[in-house]
Amino acid sequence: MIRFEDVTKRYPDGTVAVEGLSFEVGEGEIVTLVGPSGCGKTTTMKMVNRLIEPTGGRILLDGEDIADAEPVQLRRRMGYVIQQTGLFPHRTVLDNTATVPHLLGWSRARRRERARELLDLVGLDPSQYGDRYPDQLSGGQRQRVGVARALAADPPVLLMDEPFGAVDPVVREHLQNEFLRLQARLHKTVLFVTHDIEEAVRLGDRIAVYGEGRIEQLGPPARVLGEPATPYVADFVGADRGLKRLSVTSIVPTDLEAPPTVHLTDRTGAAMARLTEEGARWAVVLDDADELHGWVGAAELARGALADGERGKEAEQGKRGAGGEPGSGTVADHARRMEAWLPLGSSLKQAFSTMLQHDAGWIAVLDEQDRFVGVLTPARLHEALRRSVDADAREVAREDVSFTSIESA
């Protein structure tokens, strides 16, 4: 855990970089520091590893005052990732990754094995990339190596100073996804600096919005977006903060509808009867392993059932050669593949984007085992967003807010 207690940094010319900072970063938590250039967010981070010394207050790391620690040894207890990665151009990817273990005196075999493990963890095949040099990598690949190097000695704390700011938007989003995947596995304590409110909202468990040398608001992303503490915060997060809220609101089971499901091998007539019984216009189609295949409409099933009936009549009249066996049609003859789907826990922003991308009136939602859970419709997406707002206002979980409360709002 990192704790700031009334921390101030004042330069000899009287310039105050930060003043009276008091907050903490809990174990396994990501706190994003966001604000315009010159607001003090990077100064805050650099005081943690003593690249900059505070002039007042104190900073505690796991209860110990960092002022009492030897600076070099302190830094080796932390991972540090910067925008341009800071890789050594004359060293291979494998040796760059093993930098801190080398400084800590690990054996060559041990540190290279650790480097291979971490390159694999960040999605770079060590057999393919390990012997390359930084100038032989793309910007996104270099950034991955920077993250791997920061994790090499398994530090409990990661300091990340705009680590994804120098890559293009597509690569940045992919790196953000990879970082969240790693964090879900490693549970590091992370102080993350960014000037991008979208990135802060997406990555942070809590956001600290900086003004001029002080924190204007600190809280969960949904709270900062939904209830800006000051006009400055409201202006900084933007007039479209309602849309940004889509990024921090996840799909949960109570958001979903449960349409009828049929299987590829079901007879057309039986599937049509089920849709008629439930008053549905379509059904989700599953394969024999109960995994998502696609969907089928009532109109297609009705035509198929009618064709089956005609084949049955022909069969009775001895004309099977033209029509085949009576009632032989299955859902597989009419099902359409479904490309619009997301895993449970994805953001409402991803859901909305997927709907637009596929021109879909709904998306399928799957669990971790790729089993079908339900569907999210535009109406349910809107309800989920409204429930999120209502839940924050009541300070309860979204699952505790009923749809009826939204309908009566």
Question: pLDDT for 131-156, tens place per residue?
Answer: 999 999 988 888 888 888 888 888 89
Question: Does any domain span residue 97?
Answer: yes
- Do 148 and 240 share a domain, yes or no? yes
pLDDT for the residue numbered 311: 54
pLDDT for the residue numbered 353: 92
Q: Rounded mean pLDDT of 317-331?
A: 57
- Do 236 and 338 share a domain, yes or no? no
Mark which of 197, 213, 248 sits at the end of a domain: 248
**Residue 118: pLDDT over 80:** yes
Residues contacting residue 123 through CB under 8 Å, at least 6 positions apart? 144, 178
- Do 274 and 179 share a domain, yes or no? no
Question: Does any domain span residue 409?
Answer: no
Question: Does any domain span residue 405?
Answer: no
Q: What CATH number is attached to the domain comprising 169?
A: 3.40.50.300
- Do 148 and 261 share a domain, yes or no? no
pLDDT for the residue numbered 387: 84
Confidence tier at 295 by pLDDT (50, 70, 90): very high
List, for residues 203-243, the tens digit of each pLDDT value. Answer: 999 999 999 899 999 999 888 988 899 999 999 988 777 77
Question: Does any domain span residue 215?
Answer: yes
Q: Higher-confidence residue: 282 or 312? A: 282
Question: Does any domain span residue 321?
Answer: no
Mark which of 196, 218, 248 sits at the end of a domain: 248
- Do 117 and 222 share a domain, yes or no? yes
Closest residue by Cα to residue 221 from 239, 240, 199: 199
pLDDT for the residue numbered 310: 53
Question: Does any domain span residue 81?
Answer: yes
Confidence tier at 263 by pLDDT (50, 70, 90): very high
**Residue 385: pLDDT over 90:** no
Provide the residue range defining the domain that includes 187.
2-248
Confidence tier at 104 by pLDDT (50, 70, 90): confident
List, for residues 3-61, the tens digit of each pLDDT value. Answer: 999 999 999 999 999 999 999 999 999 999 999 999 999 999 999 999 999 999 999 99
- Do 161 and 236 share a domain, yes or no? yes
Q: Of the ranges 103-117, 167-181, 315-329, which one carries the lowest mean pLDDT score?
A: 315-329
pLDDT for the residue numbered 144: 86
- Do 101 and 185 share a domain, yes or no? yes
- Do 208 and 351 share a domain, yes or no? no
> In the chain, what percentage of residues exceed pLDDT 90?
51
Confidence tier at 170 by pLDDT (50, 70, 90): confident
pLDDT for the residue numbered 242: 74
**Residue 321: pLDDT over 50:** no
- Do 357 and 289 share a domain, yes or no? yes
Q: Rounded mean pLDDT of 243-270?
A: 89
**Residue 407: pLDDT over 50:** no
pLDDT for the residue numbered 90: 93
> In the chain, what percentage of residues exceed pLDDT 70?
91
pLDDT for the residue numbered 322: 46
pLDDT for the residue numbered 98: 92
Question: Does any domain span residue 407?
Answer: no
- pTM, two decimals, is 0.74
Number of domains in the chain: 2
- Do 97 and 170 share a domain, yes or no? yes
CA distances 291 to 313, 333, 388, Å, are: 35, 18, 30
Mark which of 221, 248, 275 sits at the end of a domain: 248
- Do 53 and 31 share a domain, yes or no? yes
* Mean confidence (pLDDT) of the chain: 87
Question: Does any domain span residue 345?
Answer: yes
